[in-house]
Amino acid sequence: MHFKHFAPKGLDYAVNRYLYEARRHFGILDAQLNGRRFLLGETYTIADMAAWGWTRVVPFILGDDAWNALPNLKRWFDLVSARPAAIRANALKDKHAFKAELDDEARRHLSGISPPPDPLCNSLGSGEYSLRCWCPDTLDQEPQAKRHGCRR
């Protein structure tokens, strides 16, 4: 979800990798639900509770038509969403206003670093460096950008 919606553009490998993994994981859940009311059979368990929170974002991650490829997961999601606790959880979400704009302040909170001053490097200017470097040369996000001389 992060790479698709919030990360800097140009990280096609990361986006494709994590979309593949999301499809695979949700596909496993869909297959597990084939012929079962809940994830572990006919009884609602903590496994259903845990998976429901992540399943709520299927359309956000995989697109609006994702449910078409996951019919068992969609049936189960609707079943769990109709339960009183899920209804209360959704009401809490709807009761509070969450910031939807991804501005510089939101980016700082999302990643724990300041936004890059230019598209090539995440240095903070004036010789300062962020705690992590997001340069294409260091996709492993080295803790100290200075180690690789990232000041382009």
124 shares a domain with 81 = no
- pTM of the entire predicted model: 0.60
Q: CA–CA separation, 79 vs 62, rounded Å? A: 21
Mean pLDDT throughout 65-90?
95
pLDDT, mean of residues 62-78: 95
Task: List Cβ<8 Å contacts ≥24 apart for 3-9.
Answer: 4/61, 5/60, 6/102, 6/107, 6/110, 8/116, 8/119, 8/134
The SS3 call for residue 102 is coil
Overall average pLDDT of the 80-98 stretch: 87
Per-residue pLDDT tens digits for 12-36: 776 678 788 889 999 999 999 999 9
| pLDDT for 77 beyond 80 | yes
Say which residue, 61 or 115, is predicted with more confidence. Answer: 61
Please say whether the beta carbons of 139 and 145 come within 8 A: no
Each residue's pLDDT tens digit, 134-147: 454 444 444 444 44
Instruction: Single out the residue in 77, 95, 113 at which a domain terminates.
Output: 95
* Distance, CA of 148 to CA of 152 (rounded, Å): 11
Asked whether residue 44 falls in the same domain as residue 60, the answer is: yes
Does residue 86 sit in the same domain as residue 30? yes
**Does residue 113 sit in the same domain as residue 66?**
no
Do 50 and 116 lie in one domain? The reply is no
| Between 117 and 70, residue with greater pLDDT | 70
Is 118 found in the same domain as 57? no
Domain C-terminal end among 95, 123, 140: 95
Average pLDDT, whole number, for the chain? 74
Q: Judge if 36 and 91 occupy the same domain.
A: yes
Domain region containing 110: 103-152
Please tell me the total count of domains within the chain: 2
The whole-angstrom separation of Cα 34 and Cα 137 is 44
CATH number at residue 90: 1.20.1050.10
Instruction: Single out the residue in 69, 95, 121 at which a domain terminates.
Output: 95
Q: Are residues 74 and 8 in the same domain?
A: yes
Identify whether residues 108 and 68 lie together within a single domain: no
